[in-house]
Amino acid sequence: MRHRLVLAGGGHAHLYTLSRLAELTARGALVTLVTPDRYHYYSGMAPAMLAGTCRPQDIRFDVACLAERGGGSCVIGTAHRIDTVNRSLILQDGTGIPYDTLSCNVGSSVVLPSPTQANVIPAKPIDGLLAARNRVRELLAEAVEPSLLVVGGGPAGVELAGALWRLARDAGRPARVTLVTGGTLLAGMPPKAQKTARHSLASRGIAIHEQTRVTRFGDNSALLPTGQELPFQMALLATGVTPPAIFRDSGLPVADDGSLLVNDRLQAVTHPELLGGGDCITPPDGRLTRVGVYAVRQGPVLFANLLARINGTSLSPFSPQKRFLQILNLGDGSGLMIRGSWVLAGRIAYLLKQIIDYRYMHHYQRCGERNAPS
């Protein structure tokens, strides 16, 4: 009987497997990719897409095509629940997809305030930033000087604020960009990185409110604890991400944020036939920083372990690196490079980011995406 392998999600941790899927299907595996959309967007280039310096198709992968090219199939749908007794992945529409091995790379998203409103947009999922870019362009054409708000002072918030500034500048129209963060800008990063980012944004007229938070969103304003109201026509939320409820709803052991608890071989601690990678898992030594580098590094290990499951051999451990390189796109043609306590800012950092990003895209972006229409 053929081994039924189901991949839930086509994110960064699954791209390596999708690119080598033919090796699994050649061994008789029946592989099914389940994804809400045939495209997966690369988060590392999302600020550039928002800024208008690259096209949407420049930052996305046709994961459905990759699956089919490797001899698998693709189901467009959203994973809703895992029936661990009958080994079936239940989709939102009630469809069940049976599995012998299930690998989950279902990502994470920003929690929206309640009630939701059209002019408050989460930074993830990434494809929402395309709608944000189009809306900002409309505002720049309609309003004398639109007010744009970014909530969140981590790497994503800094990059998005810079991208909004760049989008307005390239349109030749003024805009008021404001960033609000509950802590210090780039909290947890070296003081030099914080100072550089703060100076970069402020020098372009981007207002920064640190050590405060938005308590409530009105129709066109955000309320701070002091009672101050910040006007906005559009707000972007970059306030941290949360995994979907699929694991908690399935009765699986989860961390406090709902991510799947896995062992060092990326297997669910109670169900060895369940594996995972990326933002939706928590390893034995605690939650990893929600950055794409870990998902990318998990990719080859996850592939090797899926192959091992098919062959009935031993699985390999994943050892997360303690330090990693991170380069922020500040939106003005400069970058901010950070590795541990080492910091480098300027044009060289930005160009290095460009090289890394486009090399990564070229490696996985197949099926003619680079030539697709906007």
CATH of the domain at 278: 3.50.50.60
pLDDT digits (tens, 9 = 90+) for 74-131: 999 999 999 999 999 999 999 999 999 999 999 888 878 877 788 999 998 888 899 9
Residue 158 forms part of a structural domain:
yes
Looking at residue 354, its pLDDT comes to 96
Residue 362 forms part of a structural domain:
yes
Same domain, 290 and 164: no
Residue 71 forms part of a structural domain:
no
Residue 162 has φ and ψ, to the nearest 5°, of -65, -35
Q: Strands 234-237, 120-122: parallel, antiparallel or unpaired by DSSP?
A: parallel
Same domain, 25 and 169: no
Same domain, 233 and 337: yes
CATH of the domain at 153: 3.50.50.100
pLDDT digits (tens, 9 = 90+) for 271-304: 999 999 998 999 988 767 777 788 899 999 999 9
Same domain, 149 and 186: yes
- Helix residue spans in the chain (DSSP H): 12-19, 21-25, 46-51, 63-69, 128-142, 155-171, 191-203, 246-249, 292-311, 347-364
Same domain, 128 and 31: no
Q: How far apart are CA 367 and CA 314, in angstroms?
A: 34
Residue 128 forms part of a structural domain:
yes
Write down which residue in 311, 335, 352 finishes a domain: 311
Task: Enumerate residues 6+ apart whose C-beta is below 8 A from 225.
Answer: 212, 213, 215
Same domain, 208 and 154: yes
Same domain, 28 and 169: no
What are the pLDDT tens digits along the chain (374 aa)?
A: 899 999 999 999 999 999 999 999 999 999 999 999 999 999 999 999 999 999 999 999 999 999 999 999 999 999 999 999 999 999 999 999 999 999 999 988 887 887 778 899 999 888 889 999 999 999 999 878 999 999 999 999 999 999 999 999 999 999 999 999 999 999 999 999 999 999 999 999 999 999 999 999 998 999 999 999 999 999 999 997 889 999 999 999 999 999 999 999 999 999 999 999 998 999 988 767 777 788 899 999 999 999 999 999 999 999 887 788 999 999 999 999 999 999 999 999 999 999 999 999 988 886 545 444 44
Overall domain count for the chain: 2
CA angle 138, 144, 150 (to 5 degrees): 65
Task: Enumerate residues 6+ apart whose C-beta is below 8 A from 92.
Answer: 77, 78, 79, 80
Same domain, 306 and 338: no
Same domain, 128 and 157: yes
Residue 133 forms part of a structural domain:
yes
Q: How far apart are CA 115 and CA 117, in angstroms?
A: 7
Same domain, 246 and 224: no
Residue 122 has φ and ψ, to the nearest 5°, of -75, 150
Same domain, 202 and 285: no
Looking at residue 367, its pLDDT comes to 59
Same domain, 86 and 141: no
Write down which residue in 288, 311, 334 finishes a domain: 311
- The separation between CA 365 and the C-alpha centre of its own chain, rounded to angstroms, equals 17
Domain residue limits at 200: 120-240+325-371
Residue 48 forms part of a structural domain:
no
Spatial contact of 338 and 364, defined as CB atoms under 8 Å apart = no
